[in-house]
Structure 1
Amino acid sequence: MTEFTKYLSLKMDKSEENLYVISDETGKRELHSYNIQSQRYVKVSDEQENVKNYWFADGGLLLATDLNGNEREQLTYFKEEEKYQLTADDNYYHHYGVYMNSSFIYLRHHKDGKIFELMDHSDGHETVLNSFEVPSSIIGKFDDNHILMSQAVDNLDKTIHLYNIKTAELKDTGLPAGRFGNYHSLSDSEALFTSDYLEGNLNLYKLNKKTFEFKKLTYFKWDIQKVKVLEDKNTVIFEVNKKGFSKLFKYDVENDFLEKLKYKNNGVVHSLVHSADKLYVLYSDMTTPHAVYEYDLADGSTEKLFGNDEADTAVETMHSTYPSFDGLDVPYYLYVQNSSNAPTAIHVHGGPESQARPEFNELYYKLYKEGYQIAVPNIRGSTGYSKFYIGLDNKEKRMDAAKDVVELREHLINHHSADKNNIFIMGRSYGGFMTLLLITQFPKLWKGAVDIVGISHFTTLLSNTPAWRREQRSHEYGFIGEHDEFMQCIAPLNNSQRIRCPLRIFHSHNDVRVPYSESLQMYEKMKEQDKDVELTAYENEGHQYLYTDNQDDMNTKLIAFFNDQTEK
């Protein structure tokens, strides 16, 4: 059974008296509130489906839920005792953007299409303001007449535009294409944002809102992620993601003065909220489950407000790098078992434009208690280590990423007492693809494998994924008609006859990112070949598993599989 509650998306309401957070303590994700003075913690939402996100707007609360994980989020507005359905069309994805001029403005697109429609919802009426043929996002309000928007160039970079809500004109700001986030207006003439302009890491920039000229303010060799501007519109608190670990800094914009805060630095800041001289932080690390803390900016003291109790089993961890086949240093985290010939699991994260970070993971914790050491690498293609690193696995470079995992296996045997006869490989999403790639291209190395919502063939994935996602993912995986030979060559589905180890596959029927057909075709092909394979599919989940019953079921089966296969 689940031992720990997962918390996410910590926010504060307009009164600055209540913290809100999504948690799964009821068995699915619901919204809860915590009163800072009374310390009263209560469930706020009562939805049939999982709460995916929420916003405070027009004195009320806006919730986003989807149906069985299909990601086509519907928006419901609550104000006082009234409940108002903004959207109720399950054929569309809805992406909330901003409330301005008495209107809710958001984007939507059809589940099978590629046209993004800018919507205005006011006085009970829904109006299409404009439509765009490229994936688009609302960044926020720019002024009373304009919305700041982004449009995708590829799987990473975006161009930045101003949309005039009166004239319906979309104007290019002239800012370079790149990663762009954390936009905060300081005044009518200045704003802050983060980007990788000028070099490959996300740093803080000041924007002239009149001319769109920008100035780089920080020069970290790591990525700035969460940014909070305090009430004086000059003091900024932000998180630097250094080797995956969160480091908090305070920055004086006017005086260009940077100060590192003495806050926990061995894990991950999942959410960051500020009020007056207090920070409220949702935090976990590899050994400490998720909880919410109050940090006093004046005296540097920290107090836990609510969240999980400490884990009852001590866990030894470390992080380091290892040299891959071409000399590239690849970072990894390790849950260390101090024993000779330790059974070991390597877990590859999804994305691949994502990053494993030193946060609490209940599956890792349970495997550790069973005697396994767990290695979690950030192989080439991961974010967090510069834009150069992200691009090292694109298209025909895919096998280089697989070789990173092979080299990690050898490193664990030589330096961390991993039992070479009991090494498992597992991964979710793209990590599931990497798992299948490794057991087909390097079949002798693995005792067993677990593929969770993984890809078995890039060509079938791209053919079956919605049109709005196809081009973006093609920049990473390859384009049909251009990279066909390579995608056919490496496809795990085409090489399943080479698999030697048992495989357990987990998927779900409502996955819109990696269709269920990706796992089904792999399972059926292996059954035809009389391979040791099992498939578990969940009816009420999508790409993520949000119901704790399903998480428990998968974790229990996975651990039992490892134990059954491990040579004692």
Structure 2
Amino acid sequence: MSAKKLTHHVHGGPLAHESSDFDLQFAFWRQSGYMVATPNVRGATGNGKTYCNIAIGDVGGAHIEDVKSVLKYVLEMPETDPERVYLAGHSRGAYTVLAALSLPEHQDYFNAKVTASCAIAGLADFAIDLQSTEGVRRQGVKKSLRIMQFGDDQNPLEDEELNQKISPVFHLNNIQTPLKIVHGTEDTNVSIENAYLLNNLIESNPTLQQLIEMKIIEGEDHYFDSPDGKREVIWNTLAFFERHCKNVD
């Protein structure tokens, strides 16, 4: 049996998990010849309160280490082609992708092992995102979401050092592998300002221009709910991955 391409997909959240339910994107990837790894990283729901709460206050840490552990495991499988390994994520999963490729403590491993990656509706700067959603989310909901990730004692809006440590926008120059960023203009969960901020940095850096592609989809929300939006996300991701195949069947 010939080795297959692998898409390692990271779920969103913080309160979310992967399940055995049908997923259109995963089915599409499998139909296109990819194996799909979909781990429930620390902080996922569906595995008990302890597992859900264990990652609070460790943004940019444990959940990325779990992605690394799964990637190491699947790379040892003879079915996996190590030259065609793709990392993808949506929402909190997209933040995980961006952080894995850029944060100093993670970027060496992921830039070496990942062929290409895709971050869909991802958060790049926690402080900017919390500020830009001020008029969109109810205060109680926004505070709850922050506490779910940071606990009571951490707030990237008030702690500049923390925000710079965990926000990928401050480490974008560490990215060394091809990356596709996709975001909808009507996203009220993760502000489109994250994508605009990244795009400004990319346009001012010739090296990043060679590595990173930005796709802004007009009129789409956080979940790309329209049929056209879903198709555009899936096809953009697949086309980007296929273009960066190092081996062709």
TM-score, normalized by length of structure 2? 0.86
Aligned to 1:554: 233
Contact 1:523 1:533 in 2 (8 A): no
Deviation at 1:484, TM superposition (A): 3.4
Q: Which sections of structure 1, spanning at least 5 residues, go unmatched? A: 1-338
Alpha-carbon distance change, 354 to 449 in structure 1, aligned in 2, over 3 angstroms: same
Aligned to 2:220: 541
Post-superposition CA distance 1:279-321 (Å, at most 9, x none): xxxxxxxxxxxxxxxxxxxxxxxxxxxxxxxxxxxxxxxxxxx
Post-superposition CA distance 1:148-205 (Å, at most 9, x none): xxxxxxxxxxxxxxxxxxxxxxxxxxxxxxxxxxxxxxxxxxxxxxxxxxxxxxxxxx
Q: Residues 105-254 of structure 1: matches in 2 within 5 Å?
A: none
Identity of aligned residues (%): 22
Aligned to 2:28: 366
Aligned to 1:451: 119
Deviation at 1:415, TM superposition (A): 3.0
Contact 2:119 2:180 in 1 (8 A): yes
Contact 1:462 1:473 in 2 (8 A): no
Aligned to 1:38: none
Deviation at 1:556, TM superposition (A): 1.4
Higher strand share: 1
How far, CA to CA, are the matches of 1:556 and 1:409 in structure 2? 24
One-letter identity of the residue aligned with 1:534:
E
Q: Residues 385-534 of structure 1: matches in 2 within 5 Å?
A: 385-396=47-58, 398-415=60-77, 417-440=79-102, 441-442=106-107, 443-466=111-134, 468=139, 469-475=141-147, 476-477=149-150, 478-480=154-156, 483-530=159-206, 531=208, 532-534=211-213
Q: How many residues align?
A: 230
Contact 1:351 1:431 in 2 (8 A): yes
Contact 1:459 1:488 in 2 (8 A): no
Post-superposition CA distance 1:26-55 (Å, at most 9, x none): xxxxxxxxxxxxxxxxxxxxxxxxxxxxxx
How far, CA to CA, are the matches of 1:536 and 1:408 in structure 2? 28
Higher helix share: 2
How far, CA to CA, are the matches of 2:195 and 2:73 in structure 1? 30
One-letter identity of the residue aligned with 2:126:
F
Contact 2:181 2:214 in 1 (8 A): yes
SS of the residue 1:357 aligns to:
coil
SS of the residue 2:232 aligns to:
helix
Contact 1:527 1:533 in 2 (8 A): no
Alpha-carbon distance change, 500 to 352 in structure 1, aligned in 2, over 3 angstroms: same
Between Structure 1 and Structure 2, whose CA radius of gyration is higher? Answer: 1
How far, CA to CA, are the matches of 1:363 and 1:396 in structure 2? 29
Aligned to 1:341: 3
Contact 1:457 1:491 in 2 (8 A): yes
How far, CA to CA, are the matches of 1:496 and 1:551 in structure 2? 27
Q: CA RMSD in A?
A: 1.7
Aligned to 1:187: none
Aligned to 1:103: none
Contact 1:497 1:526 in 2 (8 A): no
SS of the residue 2:36 aligns to:
strand
Post-superposition CA distance 1:65-117 (Å, at most 9, x none): xxxxxxxxxxxxxxxxxxxxxxxxxxxxxxxxxxxxxxxxxxxxxxxxxxxxx
One-letter identity of the residue aligned with 1:474:
R
SS of the residue 1:556 aligns to:
helix
Deviation at 1:551, TM superposition (A): 1.3
Contact 1:364 1:374 in 2 (8 A): yes
How far, CA to CA, are the matches of 1:463 and 1:445 in structure 2? 35
One-letter identity of the residue aligned with 1:553:
E
How far, CA to CA, are the matches of 2:58 and 2:199 in structure 1? 26
Deviation at 1:388, TM superposition (A): 0.7
Alpha-carbon distance change, 416 to 387 in structure 1, aligned in 2, over 3 angstroms: farther
